[in-house]
Structure 1
Amino acid sequence: MPLFKRNPFGHYLFIKKWIIRFFGVISHSRYRKFNSLQIEGSQILRDLPDSGVLFISNHQTYFADVAAMFHVFNAALKGRDDSIKNIGYIWQPKLNFYFVAAGETMRAGLLPKIFAYAGSISIDRTWRSEGKDVNRQVKNSDISNIGKAIDDGWVVTFPQGTTTPFKPIRRGTAHIIKTFKPIVVPIVIDGFRRSFDKKGLRIKRKNVLQSMVIKEPLDIDYENEDVSDIITKIEYAIEQHPSFLKVLSVKELEEIQKEEDELNEQRKFWRS
């Protein structure tokens, strides 16, 4: 790889590689030592093409979810079966890997900005900003950047746009699927909310069973299925349809919402 080669967003790949290596080593024990990450579906990843893939997932923390996916994806591509043992897989990571994140999150401090260099496609949310409901137009550049990333490699998006469970799927995800026609691979995660704080940086509880289930690609008729049909498929695929709501109690949902509100207050402080 040429020393000064860049990706489509102008990021130097050798810098991105060293960021992934450094934080990969630091974060590995969070899924292998302090907690136990159980994986299903690694073979599905090895059968995917190198680009044109969109992963959709439920969301539990700001950063720990994506960091775990960096580990799982790279381990699978190096031949590990449902395991992230032997961290040597991180030495030559997949560099055309991206994740969609809220711009205000990725700009809130030095550490998020470093994480952003590792692969963030930062977008301005149209429905929420600094803890308040808003209503603004979608930026064409945001959509274009997501399409550019899909064309270049693998992209992870969290179609609810929030870490609060059972929130509605944002229609923009379905529009992206219809527009760019990627292979859509669902992922269901669990245990991250119990083991990490909201940002996913601090270990809140040890010996938690974390899980990541990679499912077969969705069967989507890009031309004839409408947005609402695709949204319903996404809800069931990532197990966020209202029919799954019985899994969490009202008290648990209230606690999650309280954490979300507290973090929004912290965001205001960071930005001030």
Structure 2
Amino acid sequence: MGLFKRNPFGHILFLKKWLIRIFGVITHRRFRGFNELQIEGSEIIKDLPGTNVLFVSNHQTYFADVVAMFHVFNASLSGRTDSIKNIGYIWDPKLNIYYIAAKETMKAGLLPKILAYMGSISIERTWRSEGKDVNRQVKMSDISSIGKALDDGWVITFPQGTTTPFKPIRKGTAHIIKRYKPIVVPIVIDGFRRSFDKKGLFIKKKNIFQSFEIKEPLEIDYENDTHADIVEKIEYAIEQHSSFLKVVSQKDLAALEELNKKREW
């Protein structure tokens, strides 16, 4: 690799590699130490093509979710199955992993700006800005940036656009899938909201059961599936469809509480 070789977004790959290495080492104990990340399905990762893959996931913190994905993806590519044991995998990270994030979030301080350099595709949210509800048009330059990232590698998106559970899937994700026809891989995470603060920068509680499930790619008919069809498939795949909500009895609640206690390491 040339010392000043850049990716399509102008980021110097040598610098990006060292940032991923440093942050990988710093954050590793958050998922294997203070807490123990339980991974399922990571064998899927190593069989994916190098480009035009879109990961869709539910969202629990601003940054910890993405950091965990960088760990799991790179560990899997280096031959580890459902494990991030031995941080050595981060020495040669995959440099064409990107994630979609709100522009205002990635500009809020030095640390987010550094994290943005590591792979953010920063876009303007069409429904919310500076804590207020808005209604504005999608910027075509944002869509083009996502397409550029898919052409170059893998893209992570949180299609609800919020860390609040069971919010609707944004239709923009379906538009991207129809337009660029990526392989769509669902991920379901849990425990991050209890482990970290909302931004995912600070550990809120230790010994929390964290789960990370990678599912088989979605079967999508890019030509005939409607945007609504694709949205519904994503809702079910990342377990954010309204059918996953149910009234829990006191007996079931007590049993769930007991299970959560057993899950604490």
Q: How does 1:117-156 map to 2 (within 5 A)?
A: 117-156=117-156
- What is the rounded CA distance, in whole Å, between the counterparts of 2:246 and 2:191 in structure 1? 17
Partner secondary structure for residue 246 of structure 2: helix
Could you tell me how far apart the structure 2 residues matched to 1:191 and 1:247 are? Answer: 21
- 1:55-112, Cα deviation, whole Å (9 max, x unpaired): 0000000000000000000000000010000000000000000000000000000000
Give the Cα separation in 1 of the matches to 2:92 and 2:13: 11
Is the alpha carbon distance of 1:118 and 1:222 closer, same or farther for their aligned partners in structure 2, counting shifts above 3 Å? same
Q: In percent, how many aligned pairs have the same letter? A: 79
1:85 aligns with 2:85: yes
The one-letter code sitting in structure 1 at the alignment partner of 2:177 is I
Letter in 1 for 2:75: A
**Residue 131 of structure 1: how far off its partner (Å):** 1.0
CA RMSD of aligned residues (A): 1.1
Cross-structure match for 1:187: 187
Matches within 5 A, 1:210-249: 210-246=210-246
1:143 and 1:39 mapped to 2: Cα distance? 31
The one-letter code sitting in structure 1 at the alignment partner of 2:192 is F
> Which residue identity does 1:112 align to in structure 2?
P
Counterpart of 2:213, as a letter, is: V
Corresponding residue for 1:260?
Answer: none
How far is the alpha carbon of 1:42 from its aligned partner? Answer: 1.1
Aligned residue type for 2:95: L
Q: Any gaps of 5 or more consecutive residues in structure 1?
A: 250-272
Q: TM-score, normalised by structure 1?
A: 0.90
Task: Output the amino acid matched with 1:140.
Answer: M
**Pair 1:97-2:97 in alignment:** yes
Equivalent pairs, count: 249
Cα distance in 2 for partners of 1:97, 1:8 equals 12
Secondary structure of the 1:246 match is: coil
Distance 2:86 2:25 in 1: 11
User: Which consecutive aligned stretches of 4+ in structure 1 deviate over 6 angstroms post-superposition?
Assistant: none
Q: Name stretches of at least 5 consecutive residues in structure 2 with no aligned partner.
A: 250-265
Q: Does 1:16 align with 2:19?
A: no
> Kindly tell me: are residues 60 and 248 of structure 1, through their superposed partners in 2, closer, same or farther at Cα, counting changes over 3 Å?
farther
C-alpha distance in structure 1 between counterparts of 2:74 and 2:53, whole Å: 15
- Cα offset for 1:22? 0.5
CA distance in 1, matches of 2:246, 2:145: 37
* C-alpha distance 80-245 of structure 1, shift in aligned 2 (>3 A): same
Tell me which residue corresponds to 1:66: 66
